[in-house]
């Protein structure tokens, strides 16, 4: 004797239970992905701050040396001895600071992804739910 066909209410309950389980698993996976992306973003931000701190120190020391070099140039009667070295040192520090800041910023911009993967997954999930709901309306 064949088994009786489940009622539409039973089929709907089963379908809703499967949907709830799928949504629960999807949300857990999205939360895990968001946590991983947050950890990666935090690491990249930390590197950016450390690099910018180093650049700031180099620029500050370089600007101080440039001020000393300018004072020496104004007061010095013997041209291009001590002031020339101070200016050279200041220029090297400022150039190094600008180079470090530029490299750190470029690396950060190139590697920082924020929550791109999480947002993409959420868009795909929303499209899937919309397709599922449209399929239920048609059926």
Query: What are 111-137's pLDDT values in tens digits?
Result: 877 777 777 888 888 888 888 777 766
Q: Label residue 55 by pLDDT band (50, 70, 90).
A: very high
Domain boundaries, the chain: 40-138
> Mean pLDDT over residues 36-57, rounded?
90
Closest CA to 48 of 103, 96, 104, 114: 104
User: Has residue 99 got a pLDDT over 90?
Assistant: yes
On whether the pTM is more than 0.75, the answer is no
Comparison of pLDDT for 18 and 85, the residue scoring more: 18
Contact at 8 Å (CB) between 112 and 41? yes
Question: In terms of pLDDT, which residue wins out, 71 or 128?
Answer: 128
Helix (H), strand (E) at residue 101: helix 82-111
């Amino acid at each position: 004797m064949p088994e009786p066909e489940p009622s539409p209410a039973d089929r709907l309950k089963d379908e809703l239970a499967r949907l709830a389980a799928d949504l629960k698993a999807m949300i857990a996976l999205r939360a895990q992905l968001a946590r991983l992306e947050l950890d990666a973003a935090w690491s990249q931000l930390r590197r950016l701050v450390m690099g910018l701190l180093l650049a700031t120190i180099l620029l500050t020391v370089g600007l101080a040396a440039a001020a000393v070099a300018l004072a020496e140039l104004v007061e010095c009667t013997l041209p291009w001895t001590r002031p020339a070295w101070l200016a050279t040192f200041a220029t090297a520090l400022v150039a190094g600071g600008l180079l470090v800041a530029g490299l750190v910023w470029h690396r950060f911009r190139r590697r920082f992804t924020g929550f791109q993967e999480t947002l993409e997954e959420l868009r795909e999930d929303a499209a899937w739910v919309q397709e599922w709901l449209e399929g239920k309306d048609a059926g």
